């Protein structure tokens, strides 16, 4: 039976990602990567949203991906898993970069005025720089492909000897897993490009596969929903209070106990609440689920394009730029998904859709 709550977590988290990137683009807390502050406010208190979601929303997506990997492998061969994950994850984040996402690279580089320092650089070199700069949000599916391949190696060694004991995880074990997440956050972090956190996100993916793919564990989570909400709220309030106006995305903050504790318990609270109250499907949630991948892949292009042509020049009031940027994220996400999913080759290269067109373009 399909776990609808996992589908609902994914599309709702992607919606949060769109909102996050709008605020991130014009943040006033000095987090690099966007245009920066476009208001005259001394402090943009609404930027607290960035701090309230960053530690956990991608951690949660990797956790859900680990769970779904277990369910997929229960009904498919490892060969099918490799082919599916390579087509849906690796192809869009490599081939897709070269045939489409370099446009995102151009926009991002234009926002940062990078072309001003590239006078005399050959066009082919500029193109490949744009390709690399166009990675943007695709870092998530790049890491997910790596974790998926590592998982197959672990399965070959493990033979389910580690997975089976995962079913016995009780609430005490789940709480103590926060220490595992904290430890993982200290290792395998790439310099400069801080989103590539192989330890932090890899641990979440593997815990999803080995522990939270068990129905028994999910029943335990549902039973302790209130406790998990309290823990998540406590860590979240503490994290936002202590670190607001500081760079939450870099060390040492993104490796702190408050960061990882908030990330873990918020993920647990959402997983618990969704399993308890959102394990259902409607026509609306089904549509959102089918199109969530396209929204994720394309939304940032819409937001950054508005930032380049309206936010950076200051052509409109800040409030209008925020609203238009948010709308552009959804319009670009759903619009480009609808168009590119219908174009031969591009639907495979950019969205990982099989050559024969299917109804599922997520």
Encode pLDDT of 185-212 as tens digits.
999 999 888 999 999 999 999 999 999 9
3-state secondary structure string, the chain?
Answer: CCCHHHHHHHHHHHHHHHHHHHHHHCCCCCCCCCCCCCCCCCCCHHHHHHHHHCCCHHHHHHHHHHHHHHHHHCCCCHHHHHHHHHHHHHCCCCHHHHHHHHHHHHHHHHHCCHHHHCCCCCHHHHHHHHHHHCCHHHHHHHHHHHHHHHHHHHHHHHCCCCCHHHHHCCHHHHHHHHHHHHHHHCCCECCCCCCCEHHHHHHHHHHHHHCCCCHHHHHHHHHCHHHHHHHHHHHHHHHHHHHCCCCCCCCCHHHCHHHHHHHHHHHHHHHHHHHHHCCCCCHHHHHHHHHHHHHHHHHHHHHHHHHHHHHCCCCCCHHHHHHHHHHHHHHHHHHHHHHHCCCCCHHHHHHCCCCCCCCCCC
Residue 157: CB partners within 8 Å, gap ≥ 6? none
pLDDT at 192: 83
pTM, to two decimals: 0.94
pLDDT at 357: 47
Mean per-residue pLDDT over the chain, rounded: 95
- CA 276/CA 3 separation, integer angstroms: 11
Of 238, 244, 246, 245, the closest CA to residue 263 belongs to: 238
pLDDT digits over 138-165, tens only? Answer: 999 999 999 999 999 999 998 889 899 9
**pLDDT above 90 for 178:** yes
**pLDDT above 60 for 361:** no
pLDDT at 213: 97
Res. 32 pLDDT band, cuts 50 70 90: confident
Domain coordinates of the chain in residue numbers?
A: 1-53+282-362
Q: Which residue has the tokens 């031969």?
A: 344
pLDDT digits over 223-279, tens only? Answer: 999 999 999 999 999 999 999 999 999 999 999 999 999 999 999 999 999 999 999
Taking the C-alpha atoms of 273, 277, 278 and 279 in order, what is their torsion angle to the nearest 10 degrees? Answer: 110
Res. 356 pLDDT band, cuts 50 70 90: low
**pLDDT above 90 for 33:** no
**pLDDT above 70 for 308:** yes
């Amino acid at each position: 039976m399909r776990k609808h709550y996992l589908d609902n977590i994914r599309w709702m988290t992607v919606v949060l990602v769109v909102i996050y990137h709008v605020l991130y683009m014009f943040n006033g807390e000095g987090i690099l990567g966007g245009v920066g502050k476009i208001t005259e406010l001394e402090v943009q208190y609404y930027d607290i949203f960035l701090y309230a979601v960053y530690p956990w929303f991608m951690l949660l997506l990797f956790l859900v991906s680990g769970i779904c990997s277990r369910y997929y492998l229960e009904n498919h061969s490892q060969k099918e898993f490799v082919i599916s994950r390579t087509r849906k994850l690796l192809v869009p984040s490599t081939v897709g970069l070269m045939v489409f996402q370099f446009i995102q690279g151009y926009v991002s580089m234009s926002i940062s005025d990078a072309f001003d320092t590239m006078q005399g650089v050959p066009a082919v070199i500029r193109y490949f720089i744009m390709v690399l700069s166009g990675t943007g949000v695709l870092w998530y599916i790049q890491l997910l492909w790596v974790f998926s391949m590592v998982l197959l190696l672990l399965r070959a060694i493990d033979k389910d000897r580690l997975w089976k004991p995962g079913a016995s995880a009780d609430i005490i074990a789940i709480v103590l897993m926060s220490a595992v997440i904290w430890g993982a956050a200290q290792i395998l972090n790439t310099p400069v490009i801080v989103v590539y956190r192989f330890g932090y996100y890899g641990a979440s993916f593997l815990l999803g596969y080995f522990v939270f793919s068990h129905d028994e564990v999910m029943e335990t989570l549902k039973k302790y929903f209130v406790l998990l909400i309290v823990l998540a709220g406590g860590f979240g309030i503490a994290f936002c209070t202590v670190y607001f106006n500081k760079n939450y995305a870099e060390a040492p903050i993104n490796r702190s106990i408050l960061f990882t504790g908030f990330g873990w318990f918020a993920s647990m609270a959402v997983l618990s609440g969704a399993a308890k109250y959102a394990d259902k499907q409607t026509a609306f949630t089904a549509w959102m689920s089918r199109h969530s991948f396209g929204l994720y892949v394309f939304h940032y292009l819409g937001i950054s394009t508005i930032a380049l042509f309206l936010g950076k020049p200051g052509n409109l009031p800040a409030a209008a730029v925020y609203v238009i940027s948010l709308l552009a994220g959804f319009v670009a996400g759903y619009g480009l998904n609808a168009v590119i999913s219908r174009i031969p080759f591009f639907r495979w290269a950019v969205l990982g859709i099989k050559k024969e067109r299917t109804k599922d373009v997520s």
